[in-house]
With several copies, the nearest count.
Chain A
Amino acid sequence: MVAVAPGMEVGLELRARLADLYCAYDDALNDGALERWPELFTEACVYKVIPRENVEQGFPVALIYCESRDMLVDRVVALRETALFAPRIARRITSGICLRAIEPDGLHLTASFAVFQTMQDQPSELFLCGRCQDRVVDDGGALRFAERLCIYDSTIIPTSLVYPV
């Protein structure tokens, strides 16, 4: 259930549509269906993966810094075509999706995420956890992320961040 912040009145239908979007996001990553992932963003989207430390200190550098859906596509293609990495499986879960404000520029939400990772012939492990800070808009009838900031709690990435989170 997508929750809403105290004092807001939001219909159940919108909550359900948002839940569908958030679920589709995790699903794209968990299925390894990276190709579906950019479709959940608007064309002019912003997507960043950034350590909490940088956010708190006002540092702009992000591990992944995309300024358009095209850049998301470029990253997916680059991962598929150019990158070397040891095989791994990611499993992303989301909790505490909260609609915090409805503004002219879209719906503002936050959510907690955790990603578990499984390296070949190794037990599954917690890889990262953190918070998403999102702006969602109605993009021609479909809800899409106009902005998604994945702010992870740790300063440390175990080895590499191969797949987006």
Chain B
Amino acid sequence: MSAQPATATREWPDEGSSRVPNWVYTDPQIFARELDLVFGASDWLYVCLETEIPNPGDFKRSQLGNREVVAVRGTDGTINVLVNRCAHRSMQVCTASRGSAKEFVCPYHQWTYDLAGNLLGIPFRRGYRGQGGMPPDFRPEEHGLQRLAVTHRHGVVFASFGAPNESLESYLGERMLGYFDRVFDGRQLVVLGHMRQRIPSNWKLMFENIKDPYHASLLHVFLVTFGLFRLDQQSAVEMDETGRHAVLVSRRGAQETNEATAQMRAFKPGFALQDKRLLDPVREFPGDATVVMQTLWPNLIVQQQSNTLAMRQIVPHDARSFDLAWTFFGYADDTPEMHQRRLRQANLMGPAGLVSLDDSEAMLLSQAGIDTNDDKTCVVEMGGRAVVNEPHMVTETAIRGFYQHYRSVMEL
């Protein structure tokens, strides 16, 4: 740690987005700005799946940036996303993490809000026997719960703190929308369960990790050994126009030795499973991609890794930690075998995932290296220095794309 200069004096390295200065992962002032400019602006943030709140009154809490919100289905079936803060004296109105409600009653003084956040009632608003009460000019309509702009597509709910000037579809862009619709094709989704982990690193390291196909063949011995993800397979890294969203697309390969595995220490040719059921992937989507990992600015990863499907929501806590909240899902029309397969393959994902624990540990170890070297700079030059889509995995282009967008948003 060196003495922290004011944010204003932070200067991005001359090399541009192929370099990332370590202070973006440590500076509390940078983090505070991110809460406003990245998580609190007009972008569409992932909130939850529609199927989590199927009926009117059903609600679920979620965290957008560092704000607690409640996603609730209104009586008319529309979904409202409300900031969980009473307009009176700021208490959290909703203490349950999920449930069903007819209205929200703040426990402190029982100010009551409808499912759209409108202030319905204030006990003793008119006083009692002529004494006390709210001023006559008090306007309840100005004191509702803060309500966000909401949109949803094929069962996935997004919200925005600002007034987005584009639809979700245009926000994602055509290419990303295609990949989005590949998994969210309109079929009814079914939640299989949640996992959550608190990772002691900056939240951006999570995005870097998923936007980085280069590491997959090298770090994930399990993945590579069983051919689930191999750099020598046909693959692609694609972004939207801005660089903020991306997908990694890959195909399954065999557990074989070749000129690529020669450069992959991770590859263990002799390793076999005792119980083969752990790895029994079945093709279920059109095309031959077996892995599609989509990163959507600013808080979502859509994971399709063989037959495990999950939303990974990023919830930043401070410059040095974030929560990763996983929602595993399938489709209502899954066969019992496919259902079971998804549960089994979940062994590879989540906080104990035989693949993804490598990643959470990598983030821990990265932040450890960063924390005491925040005067140093990361080098992001694999695949060149440009931000372009690539038909291969030997590139960090999507990380550069992310920082290109980040810098413009953060004015850095």
Q: Which residues of A contact B (CB under 8 A)?
A: 49-51, 53-54, 57, 59-68, 70-71, 73-75, 77-79, 81-87, 120-121, 123, 155-162
Q: How far is the CA of A49 from the CA of B328 in the complex (A)?
A: 15
CB-based nearest B residue for A68: B275
Docked-complex contact B197 and A156, CB < 8 angstroms:
yes
Q: A87 — which chain B residues lie within 8 A by C-beta? A: 95-97
Please tell me if B2 contacts chain A, counting CB pairs below 8 Å: no
Cβ of A71 and Cβ of B361 under 8 Å apart?
no
Decide if B358 is an interface residue (CB 8 Å cutoff): yes
Is B350 in contact with chain A by the CB < 8 A criterion? yes
Assembled-state Cα–Cα distance A157/B351 (Å): 7
What is the CB-to-nearest-CB distance from A44 to chain B, in angstroms, rounded to a whole number?
11
Chain B residues 91 to 108 lying within 8 A of chain A, measured CB to CB, are: 95-98, 107
Tell whether, in the assembled complex, residue B222 and residue A156 are in contact, meaning their CB atoms are under 8 Å apart.
no
* In the complex with contacts A49-B352, A51-B194, A65-B346, A83-B278 CB distance below 8 A: no
Interface string of B352-379 (1 = CB under 8 A from A): 1110011011101100100000000000
Cα distance A10–B343 in the bound complex, in angstroms: 37
Point out the residues of chain B lying under 8 angstroms from A121, CB to CB.
97, 196, 323
Inter-subunit contact B358/A84 (CB<8 Å): yes
**CB<8 Å pairs between A and B, sample of 17:** A51-B195, A54-B194, A60-B192, A61-B192, A61-B328, A61-B346, A67-B344, A71-B278, A74-B278, A77-B271, A82-B354, A156-B196, A157-B198, A157-B351, A160-B351, A160-B352, A161-B352
- Cα distance A62–B328 when bound, in Å? 10
Contacts of B196 in A (CB 8 A): 51, 121, 155-157
Interface residues of B in 254-283 (CB under 8 A from A): 266, 268, 271, 273-275, 277-278
The residues of A that contact B195 with a CB separation of less than 8 Å are 51, 61, 63, 157
Q: Is the CB of A74 within 8 A of B192?
A: no
Most chain A CB neighbours (cut-off 10 Å) among B219, B275, B353 = B275
- Tell me whether B354 and A83 are in contact (CB under 8 A): yes
Residue ID in chain A nearest B219 by CB atoms: A84
**A71-B343 Cα distance, complex, nearest whole Å:** 14
Interface centre among B220, B222, B274, B360 (most CB of A within 10 A): B274
B369 to chain A, nearest CB (A): 12
B304 at interface (Cβ–Cβ under 8 A)? no
Interface: B225 (CB within 8 A): yes
Total chain B interface residues with beta-carbon distance under 8 A: 47
- B188 shortest CB reach to chain A, Å: 16
Contact: A81 with B268, CB < 8 Å?
Answer: yes
User: Which residues of B (305-358) have their CB < 8 Å from a CB of A?
Assistant: 323, 328, 343-344, 346-347, 350-354, 357-358
Nearest A residue to B353 by beta-carbon distance? A63
Contact of A70 among B197, B198, B274 (CB under 8 A): B274
Please, which residues of chain A bring their CB within 8 A of the CB of B107?
84
> Does A86 contact B365, Cβ atoms closer than 8 Å?
yes
Question: Most B CB atoms within 10 A — which of A61, A77, A87, A157?
Answer: A61
Of chain B, the residue at the smallest CB distance from A88 is: B361
A62 surroundings in chain B (CB, below 8 A) = 193, 343, 346
The CA of A52 and the CA of B291, in the complex, are separated in Å by 30
A124 to B362, CA, bound (A): 21
Whether A159 lies near B274 (C-beta < 8 A) is: no
Considering only CB atoms, which chain A residue lies closest to B200 in the complex? A159
Task: Name the 7 nearest CB pairs between A and B, nearest first.
Answer: A61-B193, A59-B193, A70-B274, A82-B221, A70-B275, A161-B352, A157-B351
CA distance A84 to B358 in the complex (A): 5
Chain A residues with CB under 8 Å of B361's CB are: 83-86, 159-160, 162
In the complex, which residue of chain B has the Cβ closest to the Cβ of A158?
B198
Any chain A CB within 8 A of the CB of B292?
Answer: no
The minimal Cβ–Cβ distance linking B71 to chain A, given in whole angstroms, is 15
* Complex-state Cα separation, A64 to B350, whole angstroms: 9
Known: A81-B221, A83-B357, A87-B97. A65 touches B343 (CB 8 A): yes
Listed residue (A63, A68, A79) with the most chain B CB atoms within 10 angstroms of its CB: A63
| Docked complex Cα distance between A57 and B314 (Å) | 22
Residue B191 lies at the interface, judged by CB distance under 8 Å to chain A: yes
Minimal beta-carbon separation of A142 from chain B (angstroms): 20
A96 to B98, CA, bound (A): 30
**A84-B107, A159-B198, A160-B351 are known contacts. Are A71 and B193 too (CB-CB below 8 A)?**
no
Q: How far is the CA of A155 from the CA of B315 in the complex (A)?
A: 14
Binary per-residue interface labels of chain B (277-297) against chain A in the complex, 1 for a CB within 8 Å, 0 otherwise:
110000000000000000000
What chain A residues lie within 8 Å of B191 (beta carbons)? 59
Q: How far is the CA of A50 from the CA of B357 in the complex (A)?
A: 16
* Nearest B residue to A63, CB-CB: B352
Distance in angstroms from A23 CB to nearest chain B CB is: 24
- Once the chains are docked, how many angstroms separate the CA of A82 from the CA of B353? 12
* A130 CB to nearest B CB, Å: 14
